[in-house]
A = this chain, B = another copy of it.
Amino acid sequence: MRSSELAALAGVTVRTLRHYHQIGLLEEPRRTAGGYRSYDVGHLVRILRITRLTALGVPLAVLPEVLDDPEAAESLLDELDQQAAAEIERLTTRRAVIAALRHHRGMPDLPPVLAELGVDLRASAEAVPELARYEREQLVLLAHVLGETDFATVARSLAPLMVGDPAATELVRRLSRVDQDTSEAEVERLAGDLADHYRPLLARLGDLPAVTDPAQLLTAHLQQSYNERQQQVNERFVELLHLPDAVDEDLPTD
């Protein structure tokens, strides 16, 4: 048989044959005068045995051992089965997450738990795009520093304060309109309203085990997402909440 015939018979590609030769898994056959490889059924059998095992997930490197050692083959099966089981579990939870993520459409980086709480970022995303992006990032940060479980707890009780909520959206909208021409009075009022609205959330954070000082990360992020005047609002907001107003000096203010 020529290589292509053998490959067709065995259901592999010619390149695969060559690879098996290279790693010493398949004996080199005789050659024709022109240098063509000339295979026989023995090679076919060998390849079939190989492909049967690789189909089970056996790496090519360990094949030489298991092809002729029944005991090695035994323990290998255990291992392969456990690997497959573990992989199936990972993929199953992955599918569950994907299913949940369908609910906040187009934002698959949001924590899935928000979906079941009915939090819908799309509303505020349309109203105030750039700040919705910021909220989105805050949620991602928060979910990470708290862990998905603690985040779920917090989110469950605080969902109404969050972005999907009309009151929160309105605050965000007001903040988005802040610029140089905004009066000091409005700055003060908005900071107060923000503080009133978010105080429960931050208080709740205090109850939880601080991972790497989550509040710091969040406020640091906050400081980076606004114009000067908006930052002034945030400073007052933070003061009103008695949060640490400075962050690690390695974190640039930009």
| A residues adjacent to B (C-beta < 8 A) | 1-2, 5, 9-11, 30, 38, 40-42, 44-45, 48-49, 52-53, 55-57, 66-67, 69-71, 73-74, 76-77, 80-81, 84-85, 87-88, 91-92, 94-95, 97-99, 101-102, 105-109, 137, 140-141, 144, 212, 217, 220-221, 224, 248, 250-252, 254
Contact = CB atoms under 8 A, between A and B. Distances in A.
B252 A56 contact: no
B48 A252 contact: no
A87 B95 CA distance: 11
Nearest to A220: B41
A135 B122 CA distance: 66
Contact of A250 (B2, B71, B94, B220): B2
Contacts of A102: 77
A38 B85 CA distance: 41
A210 to B, nearest CB: 13
Contacts of A141: 41, 44-45, 48
